[in-house]
């Protein structure tokens, strides 16, 4: 994992807190989490788009 600010690897204590959760999960759990995340992100993008369109419609 890389730190987005510096490009340096993420500190060990953060990696250690993340890795065990994934090791403890089955593939089904990880897949479910991934699908839930994708669904959440796409819903959030849809919400932003609706807000922008609504603002533009009200303005004109």
Residues pairing with 2 in the sheet: 9
Cα separation, 8 vs 44, in Å, equals 30
Q: What is the pLDDT of residue 4?
A: 47
Q: What is the pLDDT of residue 8?
A: 55
Q: What is the pLDDT of residue 46?
A: 93
Spell out the domain ranges in the chain.
12-59
pLDDT 10s digits, 1-59: 444 455 555 555 545 555 555 555 556 666 777 778 888 888 999 999 999 999 888 87
- pTM, rounded to two decimals: 0.40
Q: What is the pLDDT of residue 3?
A: 44
Q: What is the pLDDT of residue 7?
A: 55
Instruction: Show the CA angle centred on residue 53, arms to residues 52 and 58, nearest 5°.
Output: 100
């Amino acid at each position: 994992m890389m730190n987005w600010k510096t490009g340096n690897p993420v500190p060990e204590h953060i990696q250690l807190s993340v890795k065990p959760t994934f090791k403890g999960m089955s593939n089904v759990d990880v897949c479910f989490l991934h699908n839930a995340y994708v669904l959440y992100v796409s819903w959030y993008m849809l919400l932003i788009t609706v807000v922008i369109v609504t603002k533009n419609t009200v303005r004109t």
